[in-house]
Amino acid sequence: MSKSKLNTYFHSLFPIEKEVVERITATFSDFTMDKNTVLLQKDAISLKTYFLEEGYMRSYIINEDHEEITTNIFIAPCFVNDFLSFFRKQPIKETYQTITHCSFWETDLQNVQNNFHNIPDFREFSRLLFVINYAKLHDRLIEMASQKAETRYMNLLKNNAPILQNVPLKVIASYLGITDSSLSRIRKETSKL
């Protein structure tokens, strides 16, 4: 499989030489997973970091009522991992599961550390990636606390219209922090707009 999407992703965040990107991604290997397959299991230790090249994934927890609560939806292209587990060898607190058939690239901590120590542009890319992920997490926290469910739903559609064709409504409702019936009502109301 060609590494063009993986390499393009590096270029999209940071102006970095083609040869440097090829050096960084030289250790990445590809694989695929069918839909509804667990990539990372809760309480395991993440031994690799993953680039989602194609597909949709989610992370979720099981609450005290034994319900699955979607904490994040990952839309390719992006990196997917529990970075605390990967870097600090802590147990994963969520389960990461494919929603659709997915294509990935993976590499291990030794390769990441080698790139950190030997490729200055990789350090800058990684810093930017962490800042971007922090900003997304922070924005989601603010949205969940300050916006009505209708607004959160409309923002989700505005930022990624194909999500309705690829992600089950139950997962979207859980991600938005609402019930399936509330999502149905919101969809009905917003379709009239």
pLDDT in tens, 102-122: 999 999 999 999 999 999 999
Strand ordering across the sheet containing 102-108: 29-33, 102-108, 48-54, 78-80
- Averaged pLDDT score across all residues of the chain: 92
CB atoms < 10 A from the CB of 131, how many? 11
Q: Cβ distance 51 to 79 under 8 Å?
A: yes
Q: What is the pLDDT of residue 193?
A: 61
- Going 138 to 144 to 148 to 153, the CA torsion angle's sign is positive
Q: What percent of the chain has pLDDT over 90?
A: 76
Q: Cβ distance 14 to 121 under 8 Å?
A: yes
Report the distance separating Cα 164 and Cα 174, nearest Å: 14
What predicted TM-score, i.e. pTM, was given to this entire model?
0.92
pLDDT > 90? residue 11: no
pLDDT > 80? residue 191: no
**Quick one: average pLDDT of 140-150?**
93
Q: Which two tokens stand for residue 94?
A: 């969520």
What are the residue ranges spanned by the domains of the chain? 4-119
Superfamily of domain 4-119: Jelly Rolls (2.60.120.10)
